[in-house]
Amino acid sequence: MNEAASLAAGPLRVLVVDDEAPARARLRDLLGDVAGQQPNALVGMAANGVEALRLLEDAAADVVLADIRMPVMDGVELARHLARLPEPPALVFVTAYDQYAVQAFELAAVDYLLKPVRAQRLAEALERVRVRRVPPAAEALATLAAGERGHFSVAERGRILLVPVAEVLYLRAELKYVTARTAAREYVLDESLVQIEQEFPRRFLRLHRNCLVALAAVAGVERAAERDGQKEGEREVEPHWEVLLRDLPERLPVSRRQWPAVRQALGI
């Protein structure tokens, strides 16, 4: 049985995400109320996006009912991470803010529910999921986002790893991927440096076309001579500037083109 047939015939696996316990309890009760009309199975409840992603590591869901405004990780950032899953669940936003919900629905969600949620309206949303299970587009979610993400997401072995943006020391482009370096390890992101630079203009500083550094990670700069690496007759080339990092021994070279901007940003 294919996925579409499975959704049409069996109960929908539902994950509820809301930072308010009464709101989670109400959705749980409403799911029970509409089970005869729209068969469903509650696979879990979470208070924020981080908790939701952790639950999804062990329990698959067909649909996520997510509040938009939540601490730690809001519904929009959660949706951006969900979109990177191999089989992303459908998304239904639940919110008390009508104008924001309309925009969210038009851009990213299968449906949206306004609080207080009514049983019949929930049943209609679940029916939409069965008919139109379309994962949200990453570009649409980026447009919808109200601010910077708190995490990068990395797909490893069929699961999503969350990398706190605040822990990233630098990012380096390699072929079609971007490597994010923390003090502990490297992560491969399926994003571009340009996208990251545009989203985090106050956090990351471009050093050259293939590298961004976290301003908070910069310990200083140092002028260094470079050799061209030829085995015979090595010749010294023009000295360049390197950025020193607080938590790593690595030095990141600064291109001549970017040096004026780097110098200004660092107040040198």
Six token digits for residue 192: 């571009």
Q: CA nearest 86: which of 194, 193, 190?
A: 190
Model confidence pLDDT, tens digit, residues 111-130: 889 899 999 999 999 999 99
Enter the tokens of residue 218.
Answer: 């910069």
CA distance 128 to 245: 50
pLDDT per position as a tens digit, 188-224? 998 899 989 998 999 999 999 999 999 999 999 999 8
Lowest mean pLDDT segment, chosen from 88-92, 150-154, 238-242: 238-242
| Domains parsed from the chain with CATH numbers | 3-144 (3.40.50.2300), 163-266 (2.40.50.1020)
Instruction: Over range 149-159, report the average pLDDT.
Output: 82
pLDDT at 141: 56
The pair phi, psi for residue 239, each rounded to 5°, is: -60, 155
* Residue of 56, 40, 51, 59 whose CA lies nearest to 18: 51
pLDDT in tens, 28-37: 999 999 999 9
More confident residue, 126 or 156: 126
CA distance 65 to 130: 14
Query: What angle (nearest 5°) sits at the alpha carbon of residue 44, between those of residues 88 and 144?
Result: 45
Q: Rounded to whole angstroms, how far apart are CA atoms 226 and 215?
A: 24
